[in-house]
Structure formats: C-alpha cells, structure tokens
Structure 1
Amino acid sequence: MKTKLQALAIILAVLFTCIKCNSTASTSDPKNIVGDVENLLIEKPAHGYVSNLPATKWEEAMITGNGTIGALVMGFPLKERIILSHEKLFMPENPPTPAPDLGGSLDTFRKLILNGEGEKASALSQELGKKVGIDGMIWTDPLIPACQLEIEVLDNETLLNYSRSVNYETGEAATAWTNKSGLFKRTVFTSRTDGLLATKFEGQDGSTSSIRVRLSQLTHDEEQEDEFDTDDLIEEVIYSAAEEGILKYTTRFIKEWEGSLKAYTVETRVTSCDGTMRSDGDWLYLEDCSELTLLTGISLSYEKPVSTETGISQFTNIDYQALLDRHTPIHKEMFNRFSLSLGGNKDLYKTPMQLIRTSSVGTLNNVLVEELCEAARYILISSTGELPPTLQGIWGGTWRPAWSGDFTQNGNVPSAIASGLNTNFQEVIEAHLDYMWSLMEDFRDNAQDLYGAPGIFVPSRSSSSGKTYHYGEEHPHLFWFAGGAWTAHFFYDYWQYTGDEQFLEEKTIPFMLASAEFLEFILTEDENGELMFLPSYSPEVGPLDKHPLSINATMDIAALKQLLRNLLTLVDQGQLDTDKTGKWKQILGNLPAYAIDETGDLKEWIWPGLKNDNSHRHASHLYPLFYEVDPDFKANPELIEAAKTAIEKRLEYRRGKNGAEMAFGLVQKGLAAAHIQDVDHAYECIDWLCNSYWSPAFTAYHDPGEIFNVDICGGLPAVVTEMIIQSSANDLSLLPALPDQWPEGEVKGVRTRCGITMDLTWKNGKPVSALLKANRNTNFHMHFKDHSWEMELKAGQEQNWIME
C-alpha cells in the first residue's frame, strides 16, 4: 500500500510540474504553489540546484547550516517557516542512569547462551537493569528543534511564478516569487564566521510588501500526541516582540541534573528595514518594505540563573552581504576541496525532480550520481561543527525524531563520517574524535560498572552523555563489544591520513590501548583453549531463528584483530613502546578463524549451528572489508568468495523492497564490495543509494522516501570514491572497482593513507593522468591492474603523472 501511495505522489508531482503558476494558484496553502519549470526565477548556481516545486513536508525543506546552527527553510513565499536548530540541543529527558552490574553474572550468562537459552540470558539482563532503575528501553536525550521563525507576507496578491534554490558554495537557501507588483526574493544562510543565521527579503525595482515576523514553538505532529507531552518536559516558554525590532524566545526545561541543559534562547533582530515597524503581541509588523534583514542567534544555558544573551546585539551595524562575503570563502573552500565528474551530460539543466525522473534502478543516470555526491557533501559540511552529524545532522522538524536523532555508533555514525578522510573533509572526523574523546570518562565508567572491567566500553548510542543504559530484551546492546575497537579504527585512520604525531601520542594511542584493555578482559576460552566472545552481539540481528544474544560475532573478532594489528604496526614503527607485544600476538594467534557455512556464505557467528539471517538491514560480518582488507582475507581467496556470497544474500531481500530500510546497510555492502573488487555488487549498491533515498530537495532518507537522515551523506561519496581510488600506507590502487557505466571521468581532491592528495582523470576505463600532491614525505607503490609504479615525493611536492 505504501509503495502505491509513493508512486501516486510522484505521478501527481509530475502532473503539477507541467502546470505553470497562474491566477488560480492558491495563496492560502503553500503546498499548492508550483512554479514554471521553463522560467525559473533563480539562476542555477555552479553547485546546487533550482526547483519549481515547494516543500510538501519539513523533510523536503531547503537546508542551511554552519555546523552549529541549522535551519530548515520551507520556501513558502507568503507564509514562510524557518525551523531553527542547534547541534547541542538535546532535550534533557532521561538522566544518566547507572549501568547494571552484568559482570557479577557473567558466568551465568555464558552457561545460558552455551545451552541455547539466549532468551533467559536476556531476561536476566533485564532483571539486573531493574535493580538500578532501568525498567524498559530508555532512550538517549533527543535532538529537538529550537523554534520556528515565521515570516508572513500580508499582501493578498496572486502568485504568478515561484522558484527555490540552494547554493552549495555559499550555503544560501533562496526563495523567489512574482506577483503583479513584481519579483520578490528571500535568502537565508548560516554564517561560519559570525555564528548566526541571516535572512534577507528584497523586492525588485522597489517593489514593496507588508510583512510580519515572529518566533514560535513548533506544534506537535498528530502521531506524537500519545507519546509526547511538552508539559512533562518544558517548564515554560517565553515569547516577546519589541518595537525596537527584537524577537526573543526562551525555553526552560523541567528535568535537570548536573551538567544538563537548563534552557535555551533564540533571538532575532531586525538590522535593516526601509519600511515602518511596530510590535503587536508576539509579532513584529514591518510595513511597505522593499528590503529587510533579520539576524538570528541561539544560545544554550547549562547553569542557573539562565542567561538569555545570544550575542546578536553586536551585529547591529553590518549588512547581509558583508556577512555573506566573509562567510563564503570558508564554506566554499571546504566544499571545493573534492569534486567528481563521471562524464554525464549537463548541457540542459534539470531540476532535482526532473533529474530523479531520468533515473531508475538498472538505468542509473551518471549526472544524478554527481549531483547527489555534491548534495551529500553539502549536507555533511553544513552539519559538522563542534560535534559530528547526528542521525539527522543538526536539523529536525519534530519533537520526537526517529531513534532520538542521536549518535548511533553501531553503524549510522560510521557511515555518516565515512567520506571524511578520503574526500578531504577531515573536519567531520576531527569532530567525531573530539566528541568521543570528551566521553572517555563515561566510557571508562561503563566498562567498570557493567563488567568490573578496565578500559572503555563504547555504547551503541550516545547524545548528551556517553553512559550506557539503552538496551532491551531483543536488542541486547550492553553486550555489543566492538564499539571501542571500531572507534579506535577512526583514531588510527586519522593518523594514517594526516600523520599528526601529536594527536597520535595524546589521543590515538591512549584510546586504542583502552579499547584493547577492555576486549582482553572480556575474552574467555572454549574447552579447547581457543579464545572466544561469549556473550556476543552482532548489531541488530541474531542467528536465524535464535536470540540475538549469542557467541563469537564475526564483527567482534574482526574489530579486535584490526585493533591489535594496528597497535603492533605502531610498535614496529617505533611509535609505541609496550611490553604487551607478545600478549597481543598470542591473542591474534588464538582467535577463531573466519568461517564459511555450507552455502558458501561468510558466517556472522563463528560457532557451530549458528546460521545467518540474511533478510536483515545490517551487514556487520563484512566489517573485515569495510576499510583496509583484513590480511586473513587477502591470504584466502575462499574468504573473498564467501564475502561476495554474503553481499549477494544481503542484497536479495532488498531488491524486492525498493532498496529496503536502512540505507547505510547498502554503504556497508558497497564498501566491502569495492574493497574486494566485486564491481557489480558495489555498483548495485550505488544504484539503490541514488535511486531510492533522496527527496526532491536532495535531502536524504533512512528508508525509501521516509525518515530524514544523513547517514548516506557520508556513505555514498565514500563508496564512489573507494571504487575509483583505494589506499593503504604503502599502496595506491587506481580504478580498482570501476564499473563499465563510468568509462570516463575525473575526480579531484582524494586524500590517501599514502600521504598524498590526488586528482585523477580516466578514459575508456583506464587512467590517463594524475596530479599527486604530497602532504608529507612519502614513498609508495601505485597500481593499476597488473601495472605498478614506485613513487617518492617530498612534503609539499606536486607531481604530474601520465600513464604511458
């Protein structure tokens, strides 16, 4: 039924697109406004889009963000709603709860699971949770919108045309419309230099309008009424509008504890207006305006008494263009560090909806791939500030975001940041590592409180806290042990890409050692003396027809192998002096070998009798292939073939579901396929990722057409780039997983583990030329199929290379 409704919606959108705005256009319902696709009012930016279609829901809004402040710009000409947000606006709902003591019952858990009684083991964990106050699933504090800036045009004139646009190089979201009085335009951006949101309204050739503006609270979605009541969480909301042109909105929370968010304030100031201004209630009225500028700031208060200062008052004597001029170079430089061309035909511009309609699974339009990689990069940059992107970046139009809109560490976050290093946007990795480092005390407490263990335990979810209390009977997250090792990989990979020795010494090595310390503690031995993970949990699935609380998840074993091998590499390089070398080698030699089942499938649990459940969204058993290929796979072609079979089996159920839920599962499979040169499967993942998970505003979804989510904004460019260039510390591979559909192209700004940044051009499926820029002294081997070149560059050196 849902698929039929989605298809009907697309058909209706197509029909609307064919109709030009005319005198019958509704001015009361902004969703009915459809512009003339052949007469767009905004010039197409060099990077970005122009559309004739308005948003039909907040998930289709235009987005802008400076990483800290974000805005969903609906683009309604007469009744605009700009939904404001802040990267740290996690509503205090669930005070950090002590973790249950599972360590005291670890032997019992192990016996129950070995006896096939995972349900009883999980029930025991629930009972232990109740002893510390955990009764049912407790969620992380949710990321909520701050409020909305409403801008209403009071002139009741019929709209004649309409367009909206996002410029990826400036971060500007623009709305333009015409009526009998002329052309009007509203632009919005969030400044990286000044930490504010700027909004400008202007009428062409002196055309004027009367406008009113206010800050207001978002209403509840109808489906949220039964599960959420702001009266339980919000103490008060204070609105005000002053004749001096100042709007203020302050929310104070009921629940509080040490370090929790107590309140936040949004302030909007009119900094220029050529009309008259007055206030009435919570509205500001601005009459006969041909030009208007609004500046908005957001401040968070963690202490009492609550401060309502936002810093906006210092910007009374600066105009919109001056703010834009000093913001744009920073944002533009970030965006343009990386670019991709796959030889698509861009001679005739197509709006996002037009372009989406040119493509379908099996006939993917290369221009769509290019445009979506740009959109993804823009979203990633716009939602990276002090923190990395959450599930929803920094945006949201609901009080109850899916999964609290948090940082989901068991797959979503790794996908969202996956392109940070190889597409030359290391800021997102730095934000992630800084965030995880800031939670080290919580992670240590988790390990101690849960298991009486040394080291750190990284939970599956976090937001305002790193404490672990989120789990349920069918989701035994407290037994997911790979979180620390997976995070340690990003610390280590940052070192490989940047060569930052201070960061390595101060943060990377300590995080890696703490992760290893916990895993060494949690390991046990089977009756033959082989090490094993018991209990063990593979996100978020169990063996076929069995409880998820199980034995020897392949992910646990792979993550530990990767961690210990990386530590040993640091020892060999002289970066780490330790007496644990022998112990780590002993552990590596005594961990279970990767296993293949009777169907040729890579096993997700390395234990007899446990079979894969392949109708599932995650693919965590492919972890050995997510990044650099595990040496065990390199040495064993049968494991490579088993991985290809595993990818095929996890794609089978998706094919009948338009790609199916959880787009980042396709990122996992795509990365794995690219790294073993499984070209057809890698390309199929790209095909689904591009055709099923994007809105007409080039915002991304978690499921086909549903749930605003940014996971694939890092994941899609990562897979595409890994199909074109792959690297390790000593090797660089050109076009290792290039599909026939991309016979020619160019990529610029790819960073590598070899210490170089590369531009590459190819034709007829073969490299033509490259520009190599050394970020440090480096030597490595460059490969294309059976060709190999030895390369050596000094820091700062650039070398042009032509394949002969």
Structure 2
Amino acid sequence: MKKILLLLSLFTAISTSAQQLPMRLTYNRPAQFFEESLPIGNGKMGALVYGGTDDCLLYLNDITLWTGSPVDHNEGAGASKWIPEIRKALFAEDYQRADSLQLHVEGHNSAHYQPLATVHLYDWNEGKVKRYQRTLDIDRAIASDRFDRNGVTFTREYIASNPDRTIAIRLTASEKGALNFRIALGSQLPHEVKASQGGQLTMTGHATGDAKESVHFCTIVRLCETDGTVTADSEGLTLRHGSEATIYFVNATSYNGPRNHPVTAGAPYLENAADDTWHTANTNYEQVRSAHVSDYQQYYNRVKLNLGGELPTVTTDSLLRSQVPQLPPADGKTADGKPLPIPRGNAYLETLYFQYGRYLLISNSRTPGIPANLQGLWTPHLWSPWRSNYTMNINLEENYWPAFTTNLAEMAQPLDAFIQALAENGKHTAHHFYGIDRGWCACHNSDLWAMTNPVGENRESPMWSCWNMGGAWLVNTLWERYLFTRDRNYLRQIALPLMEGAHDFCDAWLIEDPKQSGKRQLITAPSTSPENEFITDQGYMGVTCYGGTADLAIIRELKVNLMEALRTIGAKSSQLSAMQRRLNQLRPYTIGKDGDLNEWYYDWRDKDPKHRHQSHLIGLYPGHHLQDARLQEACRQTLIQKGDETTGWSTGWRINLWARLHDGERAYRIYRKLLTPVRSEEDRNSTLPHAGGTYPNLFDAHPPFQIDGNFGGTAGVAEMLVQSSYEGGKATIELLPALPSAWSNGSVSGLCARGGYVVAMTWQEGRPTMVTVTAKASGKVTLVYGQDQAVLTLKAGETKTVTTWKSKK
C-alpha cells in the first residue's frame, strides 16, 4: 500500500495551535443606527453600545422580558375535527378548499420580546471632539470608545459579566477632575424611576399589557468608584469633577418558568435585583473585569483560525464595503472545464465573521431554558420584527448549528429545558389541534412561554402558520450533543425521552397514501413546505398539500437518529425492526424533470423558483441521511436553480449545503455573498443595497436583522474545514472536505467532531501537513483526506498527531 508522506519540516512547520490575529471591530464614529451599534451580553442581560460624545446611547435587554403569560392547555379544543375535512379536500385535489379549511386549525400568535431600558450618558464638557474611536474586542468581550476634547482623553469601557450578573461601564479621563456627565435612565415600557442617595437609580416596570398579567422587572443603576461628586434625582445621576467612575447595571424579572404566572407565581424580582446590586457593592471594577474576561475566554479561546491576512488599517464598516463581491458567473468554467475559482476576499474579515458568530453565541445563550431568539437578545425596538420570537421552521435550529462544531456545547444547554417545556405544552397541542394522544409536537413559532400551537389566529396564511414539524426538527439538536460528547447519561435522561415523544407524534401523524393503492406508503396530510407556494398543473397557487418532502425529510431524519440512539442503549431488536419497517414505508424522495429534488408530492413549479427556504434539503444538511449520490446530485441541481441571491439566514444555510456536497468553491462563493455590505434599515442616504448580507456591525441582514445568519455563516466555515460522522460506534472525520482555493494555506485548532474528538491542523497548498486529534472518550477514529486516510486509536484525554497517510484500498 503506497504511503504518501506529506511535507513536514522541523524548521517550517506551523504549530497546530492556530495563530490568530487579534479580532476587533473598529469604527471612527458613534453609531447612528441599530445596525451600527456594538452588542455585549452575559447570556441574560445585553446592551447595544451606540457610543457618542455629547450623548452616549445604550439600549439594555433582558432575555426573560417578554409580553404574555403561560399558555392555556385547553386552547384549540375541538380543532382536530377539521383534519379529516382537510384531508378529504386534498385527496380530491381541491387545494383551494384545503387552504381555506386550514384556518380552522390555527391558534394565537406568539408573545413579543421587548427592550428593557434606554440609557443616555450626557457629557457636560464643551469643546471640539477629535480622534473618536469605538471598538469591540471579541477576544476579550470588551467594548470601548474614546475621544479627545480640550486636550483631555476620555475613555469608556463596557462589559457584560456573567459571573457578576452585571453590565458595567468604566469611565476615565486623562486629566484629574475632567469627568462631568449625567446618566438618564428610561424605558419604552411602562415604568417608574426613583433615585436614592449614594448614587443609585431604581427603575421598576412591566412588559406591555395588563400589569396584572405581565412580566415585571427591576433595574438598578449604581454610580460608584469615583473621586468626583455624585448627586441623584428622579431623572438621573450626575457626576462632577471626577477623573474615574464605574456604573453598574443589574436587572431581574418576575419570569419564573413557562408554567408559572409572572405575577401570582412570579420570581422575587425586587429581592433578586437588590441581591445582585449588593454584590456589586462588595467588589470593584478590576475584579469584575478580570472575572468576566476569564469566564468568557474559557469558551472563546478553544478555537483559533488562521486564514492568512493582516490587521486592517481601516474601520470595519470600510473593510466590509471594500469587499463587495465581484464574482465570476456561477456556471463559469476554465479552458479545461473546471469551475472558475472564486477571487479571494479579505482573509481578516472572513476570520472575524467566523469568530464573531462564536462571540455572539457565548454572549446571548447562557440562561437555562431560554435559548437565543431571532435577534439573539438584542433589540432596541418596542415591537421587534417577527416579535423576535422563536421561529422553528429553520431559525431557532440554525442558531445552534455552530455550537458543537466550534466547541461551544455549553451554549446549546438552554435548549434542553426549553424543549422539555415544549414537550409538556405540545402534548395538549397534539391532542386538541391534531387529535393525537401520543407524544408531542411544536409548530412554527414559540416564545418565552414555550407555546406549541399552530399560529395564525384563524386568519393568517397557512403558508407559514400551519406547520407542526418544529419539535421533530428541534430534537435532533439533542442527538447532536450526544454524537459530539458520547454522554450516555445525557442520552438516556434528556435526549431520548424527548426524541421518542416527538417521534411518537410523527408516527401517529403519518397516514397511508391513498394515491398509491397497495404500496402502503406513508405520508403526512395536511402538509406545507415552510413559507413556500406551489403552482398546480391547473394553475392554482397554493400552500396546503399532502406528502410534502420537507415533512418526510424531518421525520426520516428523526427516525434514523432515534433508531441509532436506541441501539446505543441496547434496545430490543424487535422494537428496532418495527421502526425500520415504518421507516421503509415513508414515501421516497423523487426527482423532477429538471433534475432537481422535488419539494412537493408532484413535480409542481414553485411560485418563486428562487425561494429562500430549502426545507426539502434538510436530509442533506443539517441532517445526514440523504447520502445517495443520485439524490445528492438532485440537491445540487436544486441549489443551482435557486441561485445565490437570497436572505441572510438562507445564505448561511446554503454555505453549509454546498459544503456538505464537498463543493468548496460554491460554498466560498456563498460565504462571500453573505459578507455583502448592506445599509442599515433606517439609513435612507446610503447607496448600499437593502438585501440579504451584512450590516456595518456585522449583524446578519435578513433583512432586517436576524441573528441566525451569523450562526449559519460560522457553522459554514467549520463545515468547509471539518465534517464528521459517528455511527455504530465508528467515527470518521473528513479533513478539508470543502476547502476553497482561496484558503489554500491556513490552520485551525479546537474544532470538534462527532464521536467525541477535537481537531487541530495546518494545511499548505490545500493539503493537511499536520493534524492533531484529542479524544474526549476512548475509541477508534478514521481521518480522511480525499483518497488518503489514517486510523487512530485513542484513550479518553489522549492526543495523537498525524503527518503520514495511507492511500485507501
């Protein structure tokens, strides 16, 4: 067997602990718009730092501050009687009637996520401002701004500390006695502010709605650690003649879990806020800062990426604008028939965007039972787009795609209790809306209260509201945790019961296809493909169908994963055989006349052929079951037909889909499209497009802002570099499976692989030169690069390095 010795020199080898440039977002002016502000967060509280000189603006958020109260378990009683009528209309091919009947199987819309507070820091000094700079250092999770005025340098540093449960601002002046400012605290919500001596403001209030039915909050602000004079009144705090000062913000709400009323059974928010404030009185800023950086870096520093490049000499928004993609035609070929290479973008920006996604996930997903919402935890809007809720037909799932691959498994833990709450509420939804008394389901939207009902309020389009596969898709994230950790206790106690409940609902929801007499094929009816519309052969544009590919893809993925989970714990072969028979009965994928994967039961046209959703490709990514080469080629044709122009989160998904197809050039092309600069939503003077892409602060543009695109982009980079599988006790790691020519040299450390492995590697001219694998659990793993491979046997905690490969037989 031929051995291939990869180039390795003791004098030129790059350490497999990747050397990464400092990761910073920099600007030379305050933010004018939300999409220019800098986000900080401790997993519960967050702040949007606009900065400023005469008026420095911040918005504060708390991830537990929503409208609404616990769901009514009797909602939808009797709605299931419409399901047979809808099926009757469908199988009579009366899609218009089916669409109209779907309105009877809708419930209330979700609650709204709401902003906590608005903070102004008014500088009372006068004089011309020079050399303003605003920075977000994502290596340390510290935001700052500074400027010169009258020969004095003023600096403000902003942190959101998880250990100390506070947001803190440290203000300094280069000249003694030069700090003169006022803090004004307010809110868009019903509120009251009181001042107390000693430099403290207390704001109490509640979410929009009836005060007897709403989440209440208490925000306390302390101005301390200063050599100046502090005074307080009902409108704010004032400091005079200081050279340094610290401001602490703490907040608590009455939210006490999804089944507890926020008033009658609410958490003691006043006492909790007072306790957190007392804690800040017994520490100092340097201690808080040190604990914050240490806590943050224990997660962030696990992964380092080096794609080359150098520190930019321009601001981040300027760097982004300089990267407007000038890309060759998607179907362009070289003279020898190979795809045209994609011109290299800015390597620093591409690395920064990857790490920014990890920064955002650490900063906004650390509260048990409350995962990141559509905007993470950051919004300045009283009424955020799409209620800033949990959209479970892609967006909530996409939020957690980078969690396991980029070594942030802890950040996905909020999903555990959230899905458990969905399962509790979803049993009632399954019964009332669908007439099913096995298992549980969750639909298109959810919120703080873990609502599971189909939304739409009996008046909105079933195109998006009448979809019940959210729970079935979401539980696969729990299975992913097991694959990356091999924690059998977690599998038995948390993942498996929830997977089984979601599966039981799906299995009961399946019916035999009456159009395939004698074949006993199983389909869903009614069915929709999230937010997409079909055109029948008779010209009707509709949304309700039967046997939609997306439904069956989700159910197929769940069945495959559940069977593997049951094998892992030693389930009886009779149980597995019965499940396999049901799996084999699912209506198979079909390929259309244009070579694409059919999204509908029939080979219908889409109303929008380039639609942002590609739900029928779930089995390719994030799923794993769609491995047939012929079907993968149909997926490729589907992506080609859809093109490259789409919304931000959809762009993030397409990076991963192309990577899973091992097409590095197309994946990189879409990554560059994701980094297309777009204008802020309220900036009417900008010449930048209003489209999917990236805002000046690197937030993802749907548009408007949705954080899932950031997470999809980060996951996509990881997917281009490492792919993995763990099945039947066998682990396989593919190295550089979708590496674009633009990244021909580089290094990465800390990426995780299924089977419980951590990978570091360097590569030159597109080939790995050194690969280091560390095992979290004992086992054997096969490393694959193209036609070469290496097999390692490792004990838990052991590390091995590979520089020599063997060709596959």
TM-score by length of 2: 0.86
The answer on whether the counterparts of 1:214 and 1:241 sit within 8 Å (CA) in structure 2 is no
Residues 21-32 of structure 1 mapped to structure 2, 5 A cutoff: none
The answer on whether the counterparts of 2:121 and 2:181 sit within 8 Å (CA) in structure 1 is yes
The match for 1:699 is: 699
User: Matched residues in 2 for 1:726 and 1:171: separation?
Assistant: 29
Q: What whole-Å deviation, never above 9, does each CA across 1:585-608 have from its counterpart, x for those lacking one?
A: 111111111111111111111335
Residues 147-546 of structure 1 mapped to structure 2, 5 A cutoff: 147-206=117-176, 208-218=178-188, 236-253=190-207, 255=209, 261-301=214-254, 302-304=262-264, 307-309=269-271, 310=273, 311-343=276-308, 345-361=309-325, 362=327, 363=343, 364-386=345-367, 387-453=370-436, 454-467=438-451, 468-471=453-456, 472-477=459-464, 479-527=466-514, 528=517, 529-544=520-535, 546=541
The match for 1:666 is: 651
Please point out which of 588, 593, 597 is paired with 1:593.
588
Change (3 A) 1:611 1:114: farther
User: Matched residues in 2 for 1:547 and 1:423: separation?
Assistant: 40
The number of equivalent residue pairs is 723
User: Matched residues in 2 for 1:113 and 1:748: separation?
Assistant: 53
Q: Secondary structure at the match of 2:270?
A: coil
Change (3 A) 1:574 1:69: closer
The answer on whether the counterparts of 1:242 and 1:284 sit within 8 Å (CA) in structure 2 is no
Which deviates more from structure 2 when the two are superposed, residues 76-85 or residues 63-72? Answer: 76-85
Change (3 A) 1:591 1:365: same
* Shift, 1:777, TM fit: 0.5
Change (3 A) 1:473 1:148: closer
The match for 1:14 is: none
Change (3 A) 1:128 1:733: closer
The answer on whether the counterparts of 1:140 and 1:462 sit within 8 Å (CA) in structure 2 is yes
The answer on whether the counterparts of 2:102 and 2:466 sit within 8 Å (CA) in structure 1 is no
The match for 1:86 is: 62
User: Matched residues in 2 for 1:530 and 1:324: separation?
Assistant: 61
Q: What whole-Å deviation, never above 9, does each CA across 1:585-636 have from its counterpart, x for those lacking one?
A: 1111111111111111111113355657423111101111113532xx433x
| Residue 723 of structure 2 is aligned to residue 726 of structure 1 | yes
Q: Identity percentage over the alignment? A: 23
* Shift, 1:256, TM fit: 5.8
Which deviates more from structure 2 when the two are superposed, residues 555-564 or residues 120-129? Answer: 120-129
Which deviates more from structure 2 when the two are superposed, residues 319-328 or residues 543-552? Answer: 543-552
Q: What whole-Å deviation, never above 9, does each CA across 1:643-678 have from its counterpart, x for those lacking one?
A: 1110111125x1xxxxx33x1112222222211213
User: Matched residues in 1 for 2:585 and 2:373: separation?
Assistant: 38
Change (3 A) 1:524 1:365: same
The answer on whether the counterparts of 1:63 and 1:70 sit within 8 Å (CA) in structure 2 is yes
The match for 2:630 is: 638
* Shift, 1:638, TM fit: 2.2
Q: Secondary structure at the match of 1:163?
A: strand
The match for 1:68 is: 44
Q: Which letter maps to 2:499?
A: M
* Shift, 1:412, TM fit: 0.8
Q: What whole-Å deviation, never above 9, does each CA across 1:532-575 have from its counterpart, x for those lacking one?
A: 11111111112235311112121111111111122222333344
User: Matched residues in 1 for 2:605 and 2:22: separation?
Assistant: 53
Change (3 A) 1:515 1:122: same
Q: What whole-Å deviation, never above 9, does each CA across 1:229-261 have from its counterpart, x for those lacking one?
A: xxxxx6x42111223211111113574699x64
The answer on whether the counterparts of 1:592 and 1:606 sit within 8 Å (CA) in structure 2 is no
Change (3 A) 1:45 1:780: closer
Change (3 A) 1:595 1:128: closer
* Shift, 1:281, TM fit: 3.5
The answer on whether the counterparts of 2:30 and 2:134 sit within 8 Å (CA) in structure 1 is yes
User: Matched residues in 1 for 2:200 and 2:150: separation?
Assistant: 31
Which deviates more from structure 2 when the two are superposed, residues 485-494 or residues 115-124? Answer: 115-124
User: Matched residues in 2 for 1:348 and 1:557: separation?
Assistant: 47
Q: Secondary structure at the match of 2:51?
A: coil
Q: Which letter maps to 1:267?
A: I
The match for 1:743 is: 744
Q: Secondary structure at the match of 1:691?
A: coil
Q: Secondary structure at the match of 2:566?
A: helix
Q: Which letter maps to 1:303?
A: V
Q: Which letter maps to 1:320?
A: Y
The match for 1:716 is: 713
RMSD: 2.2
Q: Secondary structure at the match of 1:308?
A: helix
Can you give the 5+ residue segments of structure 2 that lack an aligned partner in the other structure?
1-19, 255-261, 328-342, 678-692
The answer on whether the counterparts of 1:433 and 1:490 sit within 8 Å (CA) in structure 2 is no
Please point out which of 601, 610, 613 is paired with 1:615.
610
Change (3 A) 1:537 1:578: farther
Q: Secondary structure at the match of 1:419?
A: helix
Q: Which letter maps to 2:582?
A: I
Please point out which of 86, 90, 97 is paired with 1:109.
86
Change (3 A) 1:628 1:751: same
* Shift, 1:269, TM fit: 0.9
Can you give the 5+ residue segments of structure 1 that lack an aligned partner in the other structure?
1-43, 219-233, 655-659
Change (3 A) 1:257 1:123: farther
Which deviates more from structure 2 when the two are superposed, residues 282-291 or residues 791-800? Answer: 282-291
User: Matched residues in 2 for 1:801 and 1:595: separation?
Assistant: 42
* Shift, 1:303, TM fit: 3.2
User: Matched residues in 1 for 2:143 and 2:506: separation?
Assistant: 47
User: Matched residues in 2 for 1:242 and 1:592: separation?
Assistant: 68
The answer on whether the counterparts of 2:463 and 2:532 sit within 8 Å (CA) in structure 1 is no
Q: What whole-Å deviation, never above 9, does each CA across 1:251-291 have from its counterpart, x for those lacking one?
A: 13574699x64311111012222111222441222111211
The match for 2:640 is: 648
User: Matched residues in 1 for 2:226 and 2:747: separation?
Assistant: 47
